[in-house]
Each structure stands twice: as structure tokens, then as C-alpha cells.
Amino acid sequence: MGEQESNFYEFGRFRLDAGERVLRRDRELVPLTPKVFDILLALVERGGHLVEKDDLMKRVWPDTFVEEGNLTQNVSMLRKALGENPGSPQFIETVARRGYRFVAAVKAGEGALEFPGYTKIDSGSEDAPKPLVTELPKKNGHAAATAAELVAAAPAQPGIRNRILVFGLAAALIAVVGVVYFTGLGKAGSAAPIDSIAVLPFVDEAGGSDAQYLNDKIVDSLVNSLSKLPKLRVVPRSVVNNYRGKDIDPRQVGRELNVRAVVTGRVHRYGDTISIQADLIDVDNVAQIWGQLYDRKLADMLLVQEDISRDIFENLRLKLNVEEQKHLDAYRFYLKGRNAWNKRTADSLKQGVDFFQQSINTDPNYAPAYAGLADCYNMLVVYGASQPRDGFPKAKEAAIKALEIDENLAEAHSSLAFIKFRWDRDRVEAEREFLQAIKLKPNYAPAHQWYSSFLISLERVDEAIAEAKRTEELEPLAFTASSHLGWIYYLAGQSDRAIEQCTKILALDPNSFPARRYRGLAYEQKGMYREAIDEFQKGVKVSGSPLMLALLGHAYAASGQKSEAQRVLNELADLQNRRYVSSYTVGAIYAGLGDKDQAFKWLEKAYDERDVWLMNLKVDPVFAKIRSDKRFPDLLARAGLTP
């Protein structure tokens, strides 16, 4: 019998019914989520053969982009359901970097339900006795025989009818339970889609303000993500906050909020890793519809809530039309893009561009994706992965496109403000755009962050620090926001506070190269050159950024190690043949060496290139030694940094 003809598969103590989508261990149902069942069926059908990861993901998620980690999690759930020991695969073998193979012996066939003591025989043989039970009658495609029907179907043999009555009742009960469990009748009270939901406050036994923020952030993001789902009513977080710290009865919540289901969760954080247990509960009978444990890096917060919302959606039984699915897919690509953008490395920013472009390809009218694209192009210039003349025009085009679609999109106004200041050198328009972004979305952290950079460059120190602190208040667990406050402290001449701020970040994430950069600069300003050089050396290893290499060169120059500084200059000259190197940072090394003519030569080049860092010239301590030169005020004026 061919694979596609088989409805039943047996392996070990398990029996898989492909038609009814039921897995049993002996007589007991084994609960599986729809995706886990699909993975099992795909592996069993190809028993003994390697199933590539890509093929498996395309079969299980045919219309949705998912990352490999999602497949790994579901395979792990499957192994747990089968009772497989991690070190000794009895059923599923992992083939490193390729896929999975089902290694247990599999018997395939159409056979009827089998009971203990029943021996499978060739029913085509003339000598074969009649089967104890004929095929069970079906209703709506499911076995639904009554006890009377089973007895009537039994052959007239002595003692058979009583045995058939017992076995028949058991078989009918198993069939009914299977139908109820896997269609949702036993969990949600009916097979109708769950169209209303409330996300209750998550719990963290550790307590503390950071823990509370993390829980609220997860719930906020999850509510926002679920609210994007068509046909689903999601209770606002301001309403469910009333249940914080209370012993919650899901049935009472269901009545009070008029919802079909609630999401509950527990969070545990250790270092830069978070563990989240999320559960979807039917409020009618307090039964778990779905549950999953997620372990993620703190930097992947956006992806956590995306994973949770997607898994919840798959268990709500909502049916979307083509247009609704398109909008949802665009939003999911957008979230992945934002997650990549948040990491701020050249590779992650390029990955962000790809995700935002996929979002736009999916839905050309999705404005936030254009704003995200603009932000990626902006940061590719900032971190030296793109020249200003290449990155900023693309960023400006994307930001303007976003505003054409939605003129009230705060993210797009913030993106454009960054460009107006760093590329157009238009202080008036830049500040107007920043203030408009903050007005439209007061809790959008990047608007406050970039506005603080604008303010510090114009020596509006107190305002700049206030905006940087606001950024950290909005994103206290985001390393980018926290390290930015260290940068503002440094430019404000508050080196001790900058060191303290960056040290806290590095205790959680030693690979945060922005924190390495700002702490190294603050050490240098205090004359702690050995510590500064150590920070920049580590930063170069972590990031491979020419920016970090140039800072190392300046530290060598400022500490009197001229030969080492010259070596760095040679390396940067070699790099310029392969990638963008900021002329501003090269000028900083010459300033550290005391070579004013070369410093101004490179600063003029930075002016011509519209170098992104030139806008810090008025307050950047690395150029303190050349501020008295008569050429300095003229350059500030041309850069738009004087009244």
C-alpha cells in the first residue's frame, strides 16, 4: 500500500489516525497541537528517510514565514508527547544542520480499531473468520456508532454479542473523546471560533520594578499584536490591569469581560535571557486550550510576543480571508524587521531591510514598514555599513512614502527628523519633525532618543539629558536606550555617570559594543587610557566596526602611543578600499596626535560627505584641543551648529 493511501500508522505503543488526526498511546489519547500533529504525520509518512528542515517547514507552515527555532520548539514538544529521552532517540533522530528522521519501525494500513487480544488477519482469505465488528457507522465523517448499532452489526455467534457490547461502548467512547478533543468541543464548549480574548497581567515571582516592567511590556506587546488579528476582540490592557495581584478565576473574568478565553503567563528573567510560560484558557470550563514555554534572549523581545501571538492565533480557529491574511503577514514581517533593527549590527540591519521589504512586498500600503526601512538605512550609515550619499537618500524616500500613506505615523516623522538633521542640516525642520513625532506618540522611545542627540549637539544639555532619561524610562530593559544615556552623559562632560551607566549594561550583556564605546570614551576623558584602550579593543572584536577601530586609534594617539595610532590609520586607509570609513573619525585620530592641519583636512572631507558624526563637532571632547583654531568656528557655522 502506498504512503498516501494509508490512514493508520502504528509504531511502538502508538497508533496514529491520519484521517481523524488522532494519536493514541495504547487506548489513551495523546494531546497534540495542530502543528505538532502535522510534523509527526510528515515524519511518519517518510519513516526511515531524512526529512529536510526546509521541506518540513513548507509543509507545516505553507503560507507563513517562520524561523527555524519555531520548528525546533515544535519537534521538542513532539518528543515530550512521545515520552522520548533526550539522549537516546527512540522515535525521532536529529540530523545535524539538515533535518529529522523517524527511526522507529512503522506499520501502515487502513485497519479498523483493534482491541487487546485481537489479531490482525488477511480478510481476503476464504478461511478467515468474520471480523468481530464491521466498520463503525459515521456521522459528519466521524465514528459515531451507538451501542445498539454495534450489537446489531455483530455476527450471531454464541457469547459474541456481550463482548461486542463492551468493546463497542469503549470504541465509541474513544472515538467521541477524540472528536471532542481535537475539534475543540471538549475545551471551548463548541467548535465555533474563539472571537474574544483578554490577556491577563503576567506574573513574576522575583518582583521588583524591572520585573514588573518586563511583565507589562510583554503584555502590552502581546495585546498590540493580537489586536492586529481580524475577527478577534481583544480587551485593552487598561481594563485587565484591574486583575493585577489578584487570585484570578477565569470563569469570573469571562463573565465580567464577556470573553471566550484568557491568556495567562509567568515570566522569569536571568541575565539577558527570559523564560515565558503562556497559556490559553477556555473560561467556560477552565480548561487549557494551549500552552507553551518560550526561552529567548532579552534582545528578541519583539519576536517572543510574535511567537506567542501566532501560536495563540493558530488555536483560536479563526478563518481569515486573503486580504486579512495579507495584512497579518505584513505586520509579522514588520515585527521581525524591528527586532533585527534593534540589534544595531551591520548584519542585523541588513536583515532588517530584507524583513521590511518583505512586509512591503506583502502589503505595499503598510506604512510602518516604510518607516522601518528608513530607520535601517539611517542606522547603516551611523554604524559605518553604508556611505551617507547611499543610505540617507534611500532613508528619506522611504520615510516620505510612509507619510504619504499615513501622515500621522510618529515613526515616520521621527525617521525624517533624523534625516533632516544629519543629512539636510536643517535644524528648524528637524526639531519640528521630532516634536511632531513625540506629540503623535509620546511613548515612542526612538523619537526621544534621537531628539536628545539633536539637543546635545546644540549644547542644550539639560534638555538632552531629560530626553535621554525619558528614553530609558520607556525602554529600561533595552540596551540601546540605556547605553544612549551613557553617550549623552559623556558628551555633557559627566564621565563618571557615563561609566556607571555603561557598566550596568555590560554586566548584563558583555557584547554590547555601544556600551563598550561610550565607557571607553569616558575612561579616556578621565585620563584612564589603559582602560579605554581595553574597551575599544574588545569593541573591535565584537563589532568589527571601523568606528571602534578609529576610537582605538584616537586613544593610542591621546595616550602618546603614536606608532600604534599610525598603525590604526594605515588599517583604516586599507579598509577604505572595501567599505565606508567615516572621515570624521579619521580626523579625530589626527586631532589626538596634535596634527591640526590633517585634522581639519579630514573634517572638511567629512563636511563634503555630510558625515553623520559631524553634527557632534561642537560638543565632542575628542576635538577639544583644536577648538581654539580660527578654522573651527567657520566649520561649525557651515554645518549649521551655531545660531
pLDDT tens across 338-386, in order?
888 988 888 889 999 999 999 999 999 999 999 999 999 999 998 888 8
Top-confidence range, 46-50, 298-302, 586-590: 586-590
Q: CA 314 → CA 61, 305, 307, 308, distances in Å? A: 11, 14, 11, 10
When pLDDT is cut at 50, 70 and 90, the band that residue 205 belongs to is low
Given a cut of 70, whether residue 175 has pLDDT beyond it is no
Given a cut of 80, whether residue 617 has pLDDT beyond it is yes
Given a cut of 50, whether residue 125 has pLDDT beyond it is no
Top-confidence range, 96-100, 150-154, 394-398, 507-511: 394-398
DSSP 3-state assignment of 321? coil
Q: Which of 270-274, 424-428, 628-632 has the lowest mean pLDDT?
A: 270-274
Top-confidence range, 51-60, 243-252, 295-304: 51-60
DSSP 3-state assignment of 526? coil
| Separation CA 352–CA 123 (nearest Å) | 61
Given a cut of 70, whether residue 514 has pLDDT beyond it is yes
- Over the stretch 546-587, which tens digit does the pLDDT of each residue have? 889 999 999 999 999 999 999 999 999 998 888 889 999 999
Average pLDDT, the chain: 81
| Separation CA 488–CA 482 (nearest Å) | 10
Q: Which of 491, 541, 536 is closest to 515 using CA atoms?
A: 536
DSSP 3-state assignment of 319? coil
By the 10 Å C-beta count (0-12 exposed, 13-18 middle, 19+ buried), 570 is classed as exposed
- The answer to whether 44 touches 82, Cβ cutoff 8 Å, is no
- The answer to whether 481 touches 515, Cβ cutoff 8 Å, is no
| Separation CA 189–CA 183 (nearest Å) | 10
pLDDT given for residue 5 in this prediction: 47
| Separation CA 584–CA 586 (nearest Å) | 6
Proportion of the chain above pLDDT 70, given as a percent: 82
Find all residues with CB under 8 Å of 443, minimum gap 6, and list them: 474
- The answer to whether 225 touches 306, Cβ cutoff 8 Å, is yes
- The answer to whether 319 touches 455, Cβ cutoff 8 Å, is no
pLDDT given for residue 535 in this prediction: 96
Q: Which of 49-58, 309-318, 496-505 has the lowest mean pLDDT?
A: 309-318
Q: Which residue is listed with cell 543629512? A: 423
pLDDT given for residue 208 in this prediction: 57
By the 10 Å C-beta count (0-12 exposed, 13-18 middle, 19+ buried), 404 is classed as exposed
- The answer to whether 444 touches 437, Cβ cutoff 8 Å, is yes
Q: Which of 48-57, 68-77, 621-630 has the lowest mean pLDDT?
A: 68-77
Considering only residues 490 and 294, tell me which one the structure prediction assigns the higher pLDDT: 490
pLDDT given for residue 452 in this prediction: 97
**Secondary element (H or E) of residue 288:** strand 287-297
When pLDDT is cut at 50, 70 and 90, the band that residue 154 belongs to is very low
Considering only residues 551 and 184, tell me which one the structure prediction assigns the higher pLDDT: 551
pLDDT given for residue 576 in this prediction: 87
Q: Which of 217-226, 332-341, 597-606 has the lowest mean pLDDT?
A: 217-226
Considering only residues 34 and 357, tell me which one the structure prediction assigns the higher pLDDT: 357
Q: Which of 330, 326, 322 is closest to 358 using CA atoms?
A: 330
Find all residues with CB under 8 Å of 144, minimum gap 6, and list them: 136, 137, 138, 172, 175, 176
Given a cut of 90, whether residue 148 has pLDDT beyond it is no
pLDDT given for residue 211 in this prediction: 64
List own/partner pairs for 572-581 with CB under 8 A and 24 or more apart. Answer: 572/546, 575/546, 575/549, 579/384, 579/385, 579/546, 580/384, 580/385, 580/386, 580/387, 580/546, 581/384, 581/546, 581/550
Given a cut of 50, whether residue 86 has pLDDT beyond it is yes
Q: What is the mean pLDDT of residues 198-204?
A: 86
Phi first, then psi: what are they for 427, rounded to 5°?
-65, -40
Considering only residues 98 and 167, tell me which one the structure prediction assigns the higher pLDDT: 98
pLDDT given for residue 63 in this prediction: 65
Q: What is the mean pLDDT of residues 208-236?
A: 77
Q: What is the mean pLDDT of residues 138-161?
A: 40
- Over the stretch 253-309, which tens digit does the pLDDT of each residue have? 888 999 989 998 888 877 677 888 888 888 887 788 888 888 877 767 767 777 887
Q: CA 168 → CA 52, 306, 325, 576, distances in Å? A: 42, 45, 44, 80
Find all residues with CB under 8 Å of 176, minimum gap 6, and list them: 144
DSSP 3-state assignment of 5? helix
Q: What is the dihedral of CA 211, 272, 96, 9, to 10 degrees?
A: 0
| Separation CA 233–CA 316 (nearest Å) | 12
